[in-house]
Amino acid sequence: QVQLQESGPGLVKPSETLSLTCAVSGYSISSGYYWGWIRQPPGKGLEWIGSIYHSGSTYYNPSLKSRVTISVDTSKNQFSLKLSSVTAADTAVYYCARGGYSYGLPYDYWGQGTLVTVSS
């Protein structure tokens, strides 16, 4: 059974960099699939942040592209998200998920999500 678990600070100061890691178990990232990040501001809908193919190719939401970096560490079987210059608008529950081979869709396995609050 594939499982994903997000981890990282729950509180980030404005203008700093948000860093999250998604640990994957039950499947080797290096074997395939896309690995993505999706966020959900409190009380709002889902927003796609970006994804990384197991080979390292990355794809980002144009609205966030200048601030986002997604990377993969196959030795630890995990992938990471960095979002720079955060503001209160970046406060959200952040989910990691496994994406299928059709351009990264669909997302079939999801982490439980982690709330990140941007506040001084």
Partner 1 sequence: QSALTQPASVSGSPGQSITISCTGTSSDVGSYNLVSWYQQHPGKAPKLMIYEVSKRPSGVSNRFSGSKSGNTASLTISGLQAEDEADYYCCSYAGSSTPVVFGGGTKLTVL
- Contact call for residue 112 and partner 1 (CB under 8 A): yes
Within residues 10-39, the interface with partner 1 by CB under 8 A covers: 36, 38
- Contact call for residue 41 and partner 1 (CB under 8 A): no
Find the shortest distance in angstroms from Cβ 106 to partner 1: 4
Cα gap 12→3, rounded to integer Å: 26
**Minimum CB distance to partner 1 smaller for 42 or for 75:** 42
Among 55, 75, 102, 120, binds partner 1 (CB under 8 A): 102
- Contact call for residue 42 and partner 1 (CB under 8 A): no
The enclosing H or E element of 20 equals: strand 18-25
Among 46, 54, 73, 118, binds partner 1 (CB under 8 A): 46
Cβ distance 15 to 69 under 8 Å?
no
- Contact call for residue 116 and partner 1 (CB under 8 A): no
Interior/surface letters 56-87, b for 16+ CB within 10 angstroms, e for the rest: eeebbeeebeebbbbebeeeebbbbbebeebe
Torsion sign, CA atoms 18, 86, 56, 33? positive
**Minimum CB distance to partner 1 smaller for 5 or for 16:** 5
Cβ distance 24 to 4 under 8 Å?
yes
**Where on the chain is the footprint of partner 1 (CB under 8 A)?**
36, 38, 45-48, 51, 59, 61-62, 95, 100, 102-108, 110-113
